[in-house]
Amino acid sequence: MVRKASEQVRRYYNEDGPEISTVGRRVIQQDGLYFKDLDGSGKVSAVNDWRLPACQRAAAYAAILTVPEKLGQLFIADWRMGIRQKDPDKRDQTGLLDEGTIKKGENIFAEQDLPGTTDALKGWFVRHFIIRDNVPPHDLADWHNQLHALAEECEHFVPVQTASNSRNENGEVVFGMNDGAGEFATWPGTLGIAAAVRGDSIQIIDEFADCIRREWNAAGLRKGYMYMADVVTDPRWQRTYGTFGEDPALICKIFEHLIPRIQGSGDGPTPDGVAMTVKHFPGGGARENGFDPHYAMGQWNVYATEGSLDRYHLPGFRTAVAHNTSSIMPYYAKPAEAKSRPQTAESGKIEMQPYGFAFNRPFVHDLLRQKMGFQGYINSDSGVLHSMAWGVEKLDVPERIAFAVGYAGTDIISGSFDPDDAMAAYERGKNGYYEDHPVPTGFTKEQLVLTDAALDRAVTNTLTEMFQLGMFENPYRDPANADAVAANAADQSSAARAHRKSVVLLKNDGTLPITPEKLAGKKIYAEAFHKLPERAAQATAELKGLLCGLMLVDTPQQADLAILLLAPSSGEYFNATPGYLELDLCDGKVVPNVDSEGRPLSETHVETTLAGAGRIAQIAAAVHANGGKVIANVNVTLAWQLGNVEPLVDALTAGFDTLPEAVLDVMRGRFAPTGRLPLTLPRGDAVLAVDANGVCISPNDVPGYDKDLYLPDRLKDENGKAYAYRDAAGNYYELDFGLCY
């Protein structure tokens, strides 16, 4: 077996300069300093000289690299690890690289044939991958080392930059959202982190960010597709759980701390940092009745309220720009001019061209770059060339590449590798292609060809990030150290505290906390509920294990106390439901279908968000008949409607992909509740009703805390409130609400 690259690294140390690590590259010694020969020139050129600014080195390299080498760097997409391949014949000799091919139809974002890793790196000069495998840190470090060693064999060395969605939050591993969980320190979901910060301190973000920077860097994972600056304004948006909630002010405060701590400085990424891609510009929360742009029904961003874009959706991105996030990701959607009110930002009216934001020059170039002053690079969301090419469907793939990179200003395209189509876009500007082929209506020839200037700009921007990160000089990581950093006890402790601080106490009649004195002699019924019955059974067994040592009974009829953990689920963002995303905690609820324009129909279908939800009332009745109490926790991944649960229970908490043991610690008085709601929970269907024209009674582009400004008086109570859920004690479950013991 060939020795792993991790075992072959040579290291050279510069006093007051970067460490040089290499497996197969020549190292130049000059003036008592060491330099890696990146460009193959054998001298300390502008490319090789680490004393020069990153942007200068990147521009010098873009001038040297061949056109095919530059075209290969325009794309980033999913890649496999060889050690995850079940078929050994598809692995290279080390077991780390995957030499198997991907056949058409295997990639969710594009139907294409892809080569093995060696051919991709050496033949296509691909240098950007998305890694989704959930593996131990030492495997990540080994894999990255092997990629860099292979890249060093090319005439021009450019390290391999891998990106990942977040890996440090608890919850289900969901493709395209959180790529891994459990291998690094595990924090609550981002909504839970926001809940903890609201009730405690921004120091939680500092600890969270420092943990990510150390763990990712040690494993060689130097770029994160994270975090979401999106503001939740339509509660039916499936991606709500990946946000920090509905409050732009809190989101800005979080990103003020998050970006410098993860990247290593407020001036951009550093050799000790991890580059961030903040998403999804100009804010993905303005969904039309919750429809997601992964499917056609949700391809529009609707701004029904004048000034909403500037007031609610852009502030988080302004903060990201001010703190020099390395990259920003535009959303799939396109602005819906016909359904929107006029929008202004940075003292100017925004032109609503009907193109997905990665293709949208008024938003990407004019607003983000020119008016907001963004200096980093633009990374499209995955699949805009093939699957979610909203607004540019009439263009072929080479034209879409040229339109995104050359016209709009996108620097790297995610979700597919299309170097041949990129070459076609480049050659069409030189071979008179449009003298013999019609230019699609509504476009110009100049918009549809890829120029040298646009290509060099894009590659310079992405190379700059890698130079800033120190990846050219020192890309190699120690696998043993990667494991040690991920096992850091202080980070594990910080994450555990954040889980407990994330719990929000919504309702309490004095039942909580259930201290040892209150539990003495009490019989307890425990059950977990989930959308999937098999998941509920597994969670129930885990819950009972956490309550080991207490007097557990098999039926609520025997119980003095019931503890219920509710984990509802609704929809999926890659596929549309037949109607609107359901927020009720329900089993078998009959709801209307929608037509192709998103308008309600007379036809209906059945939705379930919590299997067996009707049994909660039966459990409560049985326990209350014994004079007992019922305690429930709801896992808030969407802004659930709690009318089918809250009236039935005596105490209610909310978690946000919070570990069950943390929830129980709060219930049992081992940790006092401090969390506050990061978003408003809606009262019920009446405040989310959609009329025959597909218009929601509460505007899709306004966060929950401001929706009462637009709701009719007939829905408002004596306090002038309509939108937020109001419980039996008269408390509104609105932004920043939370009780204490």
Cα 265 to chain center, whole Å? 22
In this predicted structure, what is the pLDDT of residue 648?
Answer: 98
Q: Binning pLDDT at 50, 70 and 90, where does residue 189 land? A: very high
Q: Above 90 in pLDDT, residue 72?
A: yes
Residue tagged 């999937």 (tokens): 532
Q: Above 70 in pLDDT, residue 438?
A: yes
Q: At what angle do helices 137-151 and 479-486 cross, to 10 degrees?
A: 150
Cα dist from 117 to 21, 120, 151, 307, 474, whole Å: 22, 5, 10, 48, 21
Q: What is the rounded average pLDDT for all residues in the chain?
A: 95
Exposed, middle or buried by CB within 10 Å (0-12, 13-18, 19+), for 338? exposed
- 3-21: average pLDDT: 91
The percent of residues above 90 in pLDDT, for the chain, comes to: 91
- Asked if 408 and 365 touch (Cβ cutoff 8 Å), the reply is yes
Cis, bond preceding 227 (omega within 30 deg of 0): yes
Cα 268 to chain center, whole Å? 20
Q: Which two tokens stand for residue 550?
A: 């207490």
Q: What is the pLDDT of residues 266-314, one digit of tens each?
A: 999 999 999 999 999 999 999 999 999 999 999 999 999 999 999 999 9
In this predicted structure, what is the pLDDT of residue 268?
Answer: 97
Exposed, middle or buried by CB within 10 Å (0-12, 13-18, 19+), for 306? middle
In this predicted structure, what is the pLDDT of residue 497?
Answer: 98
In this predicted structure, what is the pLDDT of residue 443?
Answer: 97
Cα 31 to chain center, whole Å? 46
pTM: 0.96
Q: Binning pLDDT at 50, 70 and 90, where does residue 2 land? A: very low
329: closest CA among 391, 275, 371, 292? 275
Q: Binning pLDDT at 50, 70 and 90, where does residue 672 land? A: very high
- 703-721: average pLDDT: 98
Identify the helix (H) or strand (E) that includes residue 10.
strand 10-13
Residue tagged 């039935």 (tokens): 648
Q: Binning pLDDT at 50, 70 and 90, where does residue 230 land? A: very high
- Asked if 641 and 585 touch (Cβ cutoff 8 Å), the reply is yes
Q: Binning pLDDT at 50, 70 and 90, where does residue 180 land? A: low
In this predicted structure, what is the pLDDT of residue 106?
Answer: 63
- 162-187: average pLDDT: 79
Residue 525, CA atoms < 13 Å, CB-side half-sphere = 23
Amino acid at 340: S
Residue 348 has φ and ψ, to the nearest 5°, of: -145, 155
Q: What is the pLDDT of residues 476-507, one digit of tens each?
A: 999 999 999 999 999 999 999 999 999 999 99
Q: How many Cβ atoms sit within 10 Å of the Cβ of residue 154?
A: 14
Q: Above 90 in pLDDT, residue 244?
A: yes
In this predicted structure, what is the pLDDT of residue 113?
Answer: 82
Residue 48, CA atoms < 13 Å, CB-side half-sphere = 21
Q: Binning pLDDT at 50, 70 and 90, where does residue 695 land? A: very high
Q: Binning pLDDT at 50, 70 and 90, where does residue 372 land? A: very high
For residue 91, list its beta bridge partners.
98
468: closest CA among 460, 456, 458? 460
Max distance between CA atoms of the chain, in angstroms, equals 88
In this predicted structure, what is the pLDDT of residue 200?
Answer: 97
Cα 644 to chain center, whole Å? 30
Q: What is the pLDDT of residues 526-576, one digit of tens each?
A: 999 999 999 999 999 999 999 999 999 999 999 999 999 999 999 887 788
Exposed, middle or buried by CB within 10 Å (0-12, 13-18, 19+), for 349? exposed
Q: Binning pLDDT at 50, 70 and 90, where does residue 110 land? A: confident
- Asked if 297 and 236 touch (Cβ cutoff 8 Å), the reply is no
Q: Which residue has the higher pLDDT, 96 or 656?
A: 656
630: closest CA among 640, 617, 641, 614? 617
Q: Binning pLDDT at 50, 70 and 90, where does residue 339 land? A: very high
Q: Above 90 in pLDDT, residue 173?
A: no
- 342-363: average pLDDT: 95
Identify the helix (H) or strand (E) that includes residue 349.
strand 348-349
98: closest CA among 88, 107, 108? 88
Identify the helix (H) or strand (E) that includes residue 378.
strand 377-382
The percent of residues above 70 in pLDDT, for the chain, comes to: 98
- 432-451: average pLDDT: 96
Q: Above 70 in pLDDT, residue 625?
A: yes
- 159-167: average pLDDT: 96
Amino acid at 193: I
Residue 60, CA atoms < 13 Å, CB-side half-sphere = 17
In this predicted structure, what is the pLDDT of residue 4?
Answer: 76
For residue 78, list its beta bridge partners.
130
Q: Which two tokens stand for residue 408?
A: 């709009």
Tell how strand 10-13 and strand 300-301 pair up.
Answer: unpaired
| Rounded-to-integer distance, Cα 275 and Cα 261, Å | 10
In this predicted structure, what is the pLDDT of residue 83?
Answer: 85
In this predicted structure, what is the pLDDT of residue 178?
Answer: 52
| Rounded-to-integer distance, Cα 105 and Cα 111, Å | 5
- Asked if 4 and 94 touch (Cβ cutoff 8 Å), the reply is yes
What CA dihedral angle connects 54, 58, 64 and 68, to 10 degrees?
A: 150
First vs last C-alpha separation in the chain: 61
| Rounded-to-integer distance, Cα 345 and Cα 368, Å | 10
Dihedral angle sign, alpha carbons of residues 81, 83, 85, 88? positive
Q: Above 70 in pLDDT, residue 181?
A: no
In this predicted structure, what is the pLDDT of residue 1?
Answer: 32
- Asked if 506 and 650 touch (Cβ cutoff 8 Å), the reply is no
Cis, bond preceding 282 (omega within 30 deg of 0): yes
Residue 442 has φ and ψ, to the nearest 5°, of: 95, -5
253: closest CA among 174, 298, 327, 318? 318
Exposed, middle or buried by CB within 10 Å (0-12, 13-18, 19+), for 534? exposed
Q: Above 80 in pLDDT, residue 104?
A: no
